[in-house]
Structure 1
Amino acid sequence: MPAYLYAANLNRTREKKETESTPFGCCLQPLKYADPELYALIVKEKERQVDCIELIASENFVSTAVQDCLGSCLTNKYSEGLVGARYYGGMEIVDQIESLCMQRAKEAFRLDPEEWHVNVQPLSGSPANFAVFMALLQPHDRFMGLGLNDGGHLTHGAYTPSRRISATSLFFESLPYGLDPKTGLIDYDELERLATLFRPKLIICGHSAYPRLLDYKRFRAIADKVGAFLWCDMAHISGFVAAGIFESPFDYCDVVTTTTHKTLRGPRSGMIFVNTKRVPNGASRVDAAVFPGLQGGPHENHIAATCTPEWKVYSQNVLDNCKLLAAELQSHGLQLVTGGTDNHLLLLDLKPQGLTGAKLQLVCDAVNITLNKNSISGDSPGIPTGAGDNKKSFLYLVSA
């Protein structure tokens, strides 16, 4: 062994022995030494992300600064309660960090702090969404959201004729609205008709897989007509709203929720914004729904990592690239749901090719392109995963 390699190996061995000999030696070891098996798996995942083309709209790459926050000493701190009203000691710094995150969240979306309150403690998007239900509704109250196969999220009241899929449809009464089958766009006239009959207390505008812009003004008019709260789940598009590229739902909605890890490029976390002038006792209702309603101590390392800047140039580039990709796919004869896109989402209708999304996902995985299968309008409830019949998928792969 060359002398310089021997010396380097000797130093590593010495460092390892020194850390093991201390009372907290196991805690001071890097993961590489503490758990080589787990470390190797993380390295493999990092290599996969670097080597593959990542096209999953709900994922993004966080910065080194975000990773520094997530791996910081903040992960040690337990902080049940709200800023200034915690149940544990040693909260001075944590309170400052959470207050800074709340301030920056309002600034990012250009909100009047006298009109809007934000809770940054939700552990992710689904808990944030369920907290909104708890804050605004009583058990078995009625609400409406975009149907799952039409692009809505699971937490927007998903159910099938045989079972209630989401807890939101289990504890509350859900009626989905849908798309115009001719255009693939939200059918606002039908939404208004259904809302007039159903009389929901809450209407959700937002989506998980809908590639077009939303008509917030029309949503507001329908909500006002039936006396419902209007809530926007902007998890997928919040980065574009922060950048000022998309119309802001805050101008129309009573409550707005978002995740922080999609177009905001932050950690996996959630935020709830409530208009304190439109929603009576809105701040206290939301805060109580999060804690103690749903959660104990928040993850302060995630809250710190949420303090990220907006990226206007980056956001515009994402939209431009998505439109270019859409045009290129259409030029090769592929059919897009709604005929195109206004945001960072592209939905392929693979029925003309005789393929399911699950099969295409399998083929793309094999050539280092990462995307996700998704149901679209007109699909039957309970779409199969496609894991069984893969013959056509491999034929496509071989002939590619």
Structure 2
Amino acid sequence: MKSVGFLVLLLFLFTSSLKATDTVKEDPFPFWFPAYAAQGNSSVAYADGFGALFSNPAGFASYKQEMNVLNWGVTLYSSPQARIPLLRSLLMSSASEQDEEVLSKELTGKGLGIGSSLGIGYVGRGLGLGLVAGFDTVALGNTYPNGLQGEGMSQFMLVAGYAIRKEFGSVKVAFGGDIRPIVRIHAPLKEYETSLLLHEYLGADIAPITGDLYSQTYALNGSGIGFDIGSLLQWNAFSLGVVFRDVFDTQLFYSWNDLQSIRSALVNGGLPPVNSVPGNGVYLIPMSVTIGLAYDLLFDSIKHIFRGRIHGEWENPGRFIQDSTWTVAKDSFRFGCEGNLFSFLSLRAGFEGGAPTYGGGLKFAIFELNVAFFTRKVELSERSSRVPAASVEMAIRW
């Protein structure tokens, strides 16, 4: 009876969502998990271990238990030839004439940016617990250095969830949910603020513009609570996953303060004064619905040498049904595959956003290294782009 009630709830969520009339859309924070990103960011049909915290809470009920003592990831948004100049310039807080020429082409092309995240957590025996934090900044525009715009975001997130698993012969069914308290800082960067950002971290000459980045840049800052529910059905080598993230939309209760005030308040263990946000809008992360299907490649004769998986998923089916165009399709469908050799080497590939993704992973005892190459969609007020991305994660987990 409980399972029937849960399925009725899933159907209701699939067909409806509460919307406010004066809302401002906020995107989910891009916590890139390279093992998934390399596979087209397709994961809901097989999520387990630490990765389930970012994907499908039904994965908490997996037989796999995983303790993530610490993972650290860095993502660069740029074409391959600009990654070394970007890192070099960030480390030195200045760019050589040659590096600046490369970076300026990126900023006036598909875009340029960097992100990073840290996480700890445990998933197993139906329990999912995690704490993750990260920042993400990207910029692009038409003229360097004073004709660009961008976006900066930082987020702290706690995840706590539980899942149950039932078996009916060869069919295994899992249902799970989680709650995610969120603290977020979101700075929309117009031309002036983006120029100050480039001067602060890359040493760009932005004359005649002057000013201090932290006192002159204002950001939305506040908190919210997100909820996710998901299910997994496994039959032999097939698995089907359905997940609803940000159920009924996640509202973020923001204040509007300069970065200096925000930083000072956080350092002192408090919060900045509450100020009304521009336009008094209601900021929501919209609910998303994703359906995934996976097939495990298992061969008894070589099961100790090789195992693999192919999979795909469909995000927000209602959007594609209403607008069956290629533009919508490439953002709705994701595909991926993974092959694991000798339990320590993983090769991954996929397709997302109209572009291929690929990467790999190495595991030595409790140490993991994962890399992913993919594209990230950037939407700003005046321009949008899909910028190439490279992500590296180092982790201690078992």
TM-score by length of 2: 0.24
Q: More helix by proportion, 1 or 2?
A: 1
Q: More strand by proportion, 1 or 2?
A: 2
Which of the pair has more CA radius of gyration? 1
